[in-house]
Amino acid sequence: MRTICLYFEIHQIIHLKRYRFFDIGNDHYYYDDYANETSMNEVAERSYIPALSALIEMAKNSGGAFKVALSISGVALEQLEIHAPAVIDLLHQLNDTGCCEFLCEPYSHGLSSLANEDCFREEVIRQRNKMKQMFGKEPKVFRNSSLIYSDDIGGLVASMGFKGMLTEGAKHVLGWKSPHYVYHCNQAPSLKLLLRDFKLSDDISLRFSNSDWAEYPLFADKYISWIDALPQEEQVINIFMELSALGMAQPLSSNILEFLKALPECAKAKGITFSTPTEIVTKLKSVSQLDVAYPMSWVDEERDTSCWLGNVMQREAFNKLYSVAERVHLSDDRRIKQDWDYLQASNNFRFMTTKNTGIWLNRGIYDSPYDAFTNYMNILGDFIKRVDSLYPADVDSEELNSLLTTIKNQGDEITELEKMVEKLQAKVAKETAAKKTATKSVAKKAAAKKVEAEPKKTTGRPQKTKTAEK
């Protein structure tokens, strides 16, 4: 049976403030709180709240037939908790319907998967724990920032225990193959891959309200008919997009939510179902491995990483940031850790792009990519000074690696000792219970012997004794 996998991403950037060269060493706060609050409230009001309300309504009206998946960055969750708690409430309501699956992604929505394995692993585990804490279930499927994927990244994700991963159905990778099948990682066959159908996804997220589009206006029955017309053996239709597309990229006045609400009924009429990523990777077998030697993503026409690392400025900022990754990993300073998450966000590098994509890019406070680079490097200069004050730069890499190895070994040893303590505690508890049982048994036997040893009491009348006559 043909099924639709509908997925939405929730992430908002952390706006950096104007930071001058002379602020380095003097000002350690890098953010524009007003811009962060304003932008989060705007996207919550115009997009997240009405869109999530629509998804909740669809789940309740379908009787469990409608399914959807969401991925929320840790950074976005922090901002929503502060500025838009109503969105958090709606997420819990959607979770309570049982029709929503929450996926895992890097906490920072950053590019650590391209730079540092330990850093990537740490923030993925941190995000997985946060999602479990908030929604009560540990994510089984992973999606990287902007669907970034390569063979090496897939192998790393599989080693963390994930069953599936979402990525882009890029033409330069698939060739003649279709994205409408389940594939697997060539380094770890246990990791199933779901590939985005970029045309069907972009028809909603990019083109829906464009009156110059040949298919305008788009109705739910026409959209489902496109899916129904696909070859019968192509059973998985992956429609992935940002949640902000509903209300921001495509205004509510375009009736985008009414279109969305009509999809389940139109799909049901054609015998098409909705499924979560976990349901798909559990039920369906992979048809082939996917070979991706170089990282791909869902951004721009190239579907690669050039929008973040395509010029000298971006690569310089990227390399400078991750040059202190090991030292940050050692730190237990809460402010350092939080700044690290915010500075890793991929949007910081996107502002520095010099690519001409034909689509207007909102650079926020920046006038140009060079302006974005200068401001970011000033902030990064101060951040690195703070990291160096904790772990001096004169500590060479060999010494630092040795320290990291020692810490890892100690951590492994502590884990093993904790397991041993648990086993010994269980053994002691078992032996104590056995001793109590044996003591009770001995006491019962002793009591029984005592009863047997006592003389039997007479039950007849007492005999009369003759009294001596006087």
C-beta neighbour count of 175 within 10 angstroms: 7
pLDDT of the chain, 470 residues: tens digit per residue: 799 999 999 998 899 999 999 999 999 999 999 999 999 999 999 999 999 999 999 999 998 899 999 999 999 999 999 999 999 999 999 999 999 999 999 999 999 999 999 999 999 999 999 999 999 999 999 999 999 999 999 999 999 999 999 999 999 999 999 999 999 999 999 999 999 999 999 999 999 999 999 999 999 999 999 999 999 999 999 999 999 999 999 999 999 999 999 999 999 999 999 999 999 999 999 999 999 999 999 998 899 999 999 999 999 999 999 999 989 988 889 999 999 999 999 999 999 999 887 676 778 889 999 999 999 999 999 999 999 998 876 655 566 566 666 766 776 778 778 778 888 888 888 888 877 777 777 777 777 766 666 555 544 455 544 444 43
- DSSP-based three-state secondary structure for 90: helix
Residue 468: what pLDDT?
42
Q: What does the alpha-carbon distance between residue 214 and residue 155 come to, in Å, rounded to a whole number?
A: 41
Rounded to 10°, the helix 256-269/49-62 angle is 20
What is the rounded distance in angstroms from the CA atom of residue 317 to the CA atom of residue 352? Answer: 10
Structural domains in the chain plus CATH codes: 3-306 (3.20.110.20)
**Cβ(235)–Cβ(287) under 8 Å?**
no
First to last CA, the chain: 119
Write the CB contacts of 409 (distance below 8 Å, at least 6 apart in sequence): none
pLDDT of residue 183: 97
Residue 264: asked if its preceding bond is cis (omega within 30°), the reply is no
Contact 80/87 with Cβ under 8 angstroms?
yes
Q: What is the pTM of this model?
A: 0.82
Task: Read off the tokens for 151.
Answer: 């063979």
DSSP single-letter state for residue 345 = B
CA gap 204, 220 in Å, rounded: 11
Question: pLDDT at position 394, please?
Answer: 62
